Amino acid sequence: MTAPELIQTIEAVGGVLTLKGDRIRYELPEDAAPMIEMLRQYRDEVLGVLRERERPDVAQATCSSRAVDLHVCEKRQPDPYAVALEKTRQSIPPPMPKGARLLQWAPEPPPVAIESWAVVNDVPKFIQTTLGQLQAAMAGKTWLAGNRSVRELVERLEQVGVKVCVEEAR
């Protein structure tokens, strides 16, 4: 086993490795205690990998297939929460279904708890999908609306900051 593989294994079982000067601090689950001896055996190599991770210039390095660089690659991926938040800030109102009129457009920043068991992370996509369901419900096709009523769909939109008025068919 190499030092990067050992680090990866420790982190996979819920362990945490940090540096404090020239010492490696570790927090391991009880069932991972046998890895302490392996940490001692590979101390210098593990120390080197952990130091490499902490170097600011390593974060700018390009990703490669070496195990040492896997953590660097993971750090360079965009934060999905930040991406969703930016999409929400830049979103514009989608077209309203026929018979619905937009009263307010103020999407909440994600994550949004819309019900006691649901959280919305991609608010613009949720709004667009719910408006499609609203259109289906207004056409009497409740099976296409997730079997939700028009009122339920309007309330779901309100919970993410979009108020619509459903006009009666003439």
Per-residue pLDDT tens digits for 29-69: 887 778 888 888 888 888 888 888 877 654 444 444 444 44
The pTM is what? 0.40
Domain extents in the chain: 3-76, 80-166
- Write out pLDDT tens, residues 97-111: 889 998 888 888 877
Q: Is the CB of residue 132 less than 8 Å from the CB of residue 98?
A: no
Burial class (CB in 10 A: 0-12, 13-18, 19+), 115: exposed
Q: Tokens 């919305």 map to which residue?
A: 120
